[in-house]
Amino acid sequence: MATMAEEVQRPRPLTADGYEKFLAVAAPLIWWTARTHRVTAHRRQVRGMVTGALLVAGFFTLPFGRLPGRWLFA
């Protein structure tokens, strides 16, 4: 029988996965386009990042038997 300390899982160490790599490149690029007054490019990049973040959040909110997904698809 395992003790309670053995059952607790250790958190995964932070690694540079795809999202962190994307953010490390995209955030300075968005800042640079704003600083150089490239308004059209800045708007396009920010809208793309926000849209992607909302789609990813929605993907993990609705499925897997979670309450919002049950409400929507019931």
**pLDDT tens figures, 24-53:** 888 999 999 999 999 999 999 999 999 988
Angle at CA of residue 32, ends 26 and 38, nearest 5°: 110
pLDDT at residue 14, rounded to an integer: 57
pLDDT band at 10 (very low <50, low <70, confident <90, very high): low
- Tokens 């793309």: give the residue: 48
The rounded distance, in Å, linking the Cα atoms of 68 and 74 is: 10
Does 46 or 21 have the greater pLDDT score? 46
73 and 65 in contact (C-beta within 8 Å)?
no
Of residues 72 and 11, the one with the higher pLDDT is 72
Average pLDDT, the chain: 80
